[in-house]
Structure 1
Amino acid sequence: VLNFMPYIIFINDFKLTMIIVSMVLLPSSTLEVFLIFLENRAEEYYEEFQEFIFHLSAVDLLVCLIPYVQTLLLVFILRCMELKCGQKVIRKDPVFRISPQIQNVPLNPEIHVDEDEDVQAERMRASSALTTSNINENPVIIASCLHKEYAGQRKSCFSKRKKKIAARNISFCVKKGEVLGLLGPNGAGKSSSIRMIAGITKPTGGQVELRVGECKSFLGQQGDGMVKFLGYCPQENVLWPTLTMKEHLEVYATVKGLQKEDAAIVISRYRELCFVLSILGNSPILLLDEPSTGIDPTGQQQIWQAIQAAVKNTEKSVLLTTHYLAEAEALCDRVAIMVSGRLRCIGSIQHLKRKFGKDYILELKVKEPSQVPLIHTEILNLFPQAAQQERFSSLLTFKLPIADVYPLSQAFYKLETVKHNFNLEEYSLSQCTLEKVFLEFFKKPEPENVDEEVDTTMRWKLLSYSDEP
């Protein structure tokens, strides 16, 4: 109907009022109505004055200006809709060539009373890195006091919205050639933190800076130059449904400035494709949000090997989020445990085991089951505070406090004596596992989140290093 409206208007008498109304109310027919108006006006002048040159009246001039005014108005409306409803991008607007809107994000220097000293030291390190360029470690990724709040759902029409805090003053630095892992269960704030660093989500407070050589990028200022420096693998598969895997690789290779031949690789799963797209182009900064989730053990091993090779060969700075303990132990130089949006501890895995591991685990494998009671008595004599954990026909497991074990040389001397006297097949004395360190932080809920619903279905999954599924 809209396409034939201009012709319907001119079937009977030519009326200027109808022209103006149709041009204003029917934007799709503006051009056709305008051309028909000029044609009819020219015919009228030619019939009356025998010439094609005619003078426009004020009303005619208004009709001529309507298409231009309408174009400017529609462009303005389109821009307003993009700013209000469109997704945030880190590049310049391809149509308007306008850089992303930069807003100053306030710092949020709130410090919890019971905060770990390593977390406080990391916050001071990040704050110093933002103000000082000549520091020894020269971090590439700097996050200082990142804070993110979301508006929660209302329980009723008259109740107030409760704020849901996804990240509480997160601060850390990642230097060149380092892999930092953010560990925690679902809902701990890992993805929110990495999305703020990638520039996808605007933080409520805090500051982020990315440094690559002489190039620096602050939060909200990642322009065209930073796109080639940043590789991002989101938690969800962000792929085009109509493109094949090969076409995805060709598109991303073009964006990264590579030849299509450089993107030749065989991939059989979409999650692996998202990971490959993030490392394509030799980006010095990698943000990996649970890259191996949903992949079989063989595929996980391949992803781990690719990350290790990338860090070893090109000294990439990698920020990795995961809830797989084996993945953290295999890849991360340092780990940070997050609980309810808070950074509870940060450091190397060995440092965390030594600091938060309260006990050692002693396992004894005996040859003669009849000697189990005697061995049990001897262990209690050597380590008075030992607590038996498991007991089988030929296997005993004890938990030893650190005070009974140190010094380690004396502990191993005692165990060697027990092995010789009771003819043990073997024994092992090990530190507390990373899993137990994690569970120590999850025993009690955060004070700020006591009234919130807690997902009790969380289970830790330990991955095997073997290639067999």
Structure 2
Amino acid sequence: MSDDDAVMCAGLEYAFGETRAVDGLDLSVTTGEVFGLLGPNGAGKTTAIRCITTLLPVPAGRIRVFGHDAAKERMAVRRLLGYVPQQLSADAGLTGRENVALFARVFDVPRRERARRVAQALYAVDLTEAADRMARTYSGGMIRRLELAQALVSAPRLLMLDEPTIGLDPIARTSVWEHINAVRRATGMTVLVTTHHMDEADQYCDRLALMHRGKIRALGTPQGLKSELRERRGPDDPPPTLEDVFRDVAGRGLDSEGGDFRDVRSTRRTAARLG
């Protein structure tokens, strides 16, 4: 593992029964970068994220987070992470401040620092004025920013985002990313994100890995991946987009491996609640 690696996965495998969700995954994320993990539904992205966050065990292979073994040092790894899952994690029956304070306790932020840390996290995502309103009154974009504050309250070195802008309109999506980048610039935090929005990946990610059938099929900068595809195409073809790269890598798997019923149900529930 390089001294510059925030995350290193080597030969990671994970299966659900007969289905191999992650199949020998090799991946490294450099400290301080925004790294995008892309792929069709069922590619194994969320499973890989859950292994890195220690929510799932590491049955085969190795994961290190800032040098800590995710299988043997789970609590040490968790203290370094902030995690915004695809499913909603905010409680509609609490105020914004109460939601973030709850996460401060969960992440064992020292009692004497909690109020200050909660206020800082809310300020970072521009929710100070709405902090004492019930979360059920928040818009979709505000809810996602609240969940970002929940993840930031522990001052993580690594922020993990699983489809952070799912179900949001373009203005709300931009707002969420503006706040992510503001915190990153201020703290040097590393960001690992999964997204289906190719425009987000193209604009905000320093490097990308395209995952398909549990493996990394392409890796590089957004511009580099587009340039590689352009070299393989004819000179008269239009310049490829990142979506073209995505389709080129996933191929027919986009039609044949679109996730299962639970994936669709979970995504639609989240989108409906944020909409």
* The two structures share one fold, judged by TM-score above 0.5: yes
- Percent of residue pairs bearing the same amino acid type: 29
For residues 352-371 of structure 1, the aligned pairs below 5 Å read: 352-358=225-231
1:251 aligns with 2:59: no
1:440 aligns with 2:248: yes
Deviations for 1:235-267, whole angstroms, at most 9, x for unmatched residues? Answer: 112344643322111222343333324423326
Contact 1:358–1:432 (8 Å) recurs in 2: no
The number of aligned residues is: 240
1:289 aligns with 2:162: yes
Deviations for 1:87-130, whole angstroms, at most 9, x for unmatched residues? Answer: xxxxxxxxxxxxxxxxxxxxxxxxxxxxxxxxxxxxxxxxxx1x
Return the alpha-carbon distance in structure 2 between the equivalents of residues 226 and 454 of structure 1: 32
Question: TM-score, normalized by length of structure 1?
Answer: 0.47
Deviations for 1:366-420, whole angstroms, at most 9, x for unmatched residues? Answer: xxxxxxxxxxxxxxxxxxxxxxxxxxxxxxxxxxx23x79xxxxxxxxxxxxxxx
Larger radius of gyration: 1
Counterpart of 2:133? none
Q: Cα gap change, 1:192/1:225 in structure 2, threshold over 3 Å: closer, same or farther? A: closer
SS of the aligned residue for 2:21 comes to strand
Deviations for 1:288-345, whole angstroms, at most 9, x for unmatched residues? Answer: 1111112222221111112222222222121111111011012110001112222110
- What's the C-alpha RMSD, in Å, of the aligned pairs? 2.9
Counterpart of 1:388? none
SS of the aligned residue for 2:161 comes to strand
Compute the displacement of 1:225 (Å).
4.2
Counterpart of 1:82? none
- More RCO (CA 8 Å, sep 6+): 2
Return the alpha-carbon distance in structure 2 between the equivalents of residues 225 and 208 of structure 1: 13
SS of the aligned residue for 1:199 comes to coil
Amino acid at match of 1:317: T
Counterpart of 2:14? 148
Amino acid at match of 1:277: Q
SS of the aligned residue for 1:253 comes to helix
1:206 aligns with 2:61: yes
Compute the displacement of 1:171 (Å).
1.0
Contact 1:179–1:320 (8 Å) recurs in 2: yes
Return the alpha-carbon distance in structure 1 between the equivalents of residues 253 and 74 of structure 2: 40
Residue number among 32, 39, 45 corresponding to 1:190 in the alignment: 45
SS of the aligned residue for 1:357 comes to helix
Contact 2:41–2:259 (8 Å) recurs in 1: no
Worse overlay, 261-270 or 188-197: 261-270
Q: Cα gap change, 1:441/1:221 in structure 2, threshold over 3 Å: closer, same or farther? A: same
Compute the displacement of 1:223 (Å).
4.8
Question: TM-score, normalized by length of structure 2?
Answer: 0.77
Amino acid at match of 1:140: A
Return the alpha-carbon distance in structure 2 between the equivalents of residues 202 and 223 of structure 1: 9
For residues 78-157 of structure 1, the aligned pairs below 5 Å read: 129=1, 135=2, 138-151=4-17
Return the alpha-carbon distance in structure 1 between the equivalents of residues 156 and 63 of structure 2: 18
Residue number among 64, 70, 83 corresponding to 1:219 in the alignment: 70
Amino acid at match of 2:4: N
Counterpart of 1:46? none
Return the alpha-carbon distance in structure 1 between the equivalents of residues 164 and 65 of structure 2: 21
Return the alpha-carbon distance in structure 2 between the equivalents of residues 343 and 224 of structure 1: 28
Q: Cα gap change, 1:345/1:247 in structure 2, threshold over 3 Å: closer, same or farther? A: same
Amino acid at match of 1:256: V
Counterpart of 1:315? 188
Provide structure 1 residue ranges, at least 5 long, that are not aligned to the other structure. Answer: 1-128, 130-134, 152-162, 361-400, 406-429, 458-469
SS of the aligned residue for 1:330 comes to helix
Return the alpha-carbon distance in structure 2 between the equivalents of residues 228 and 455 of structure 1: 34
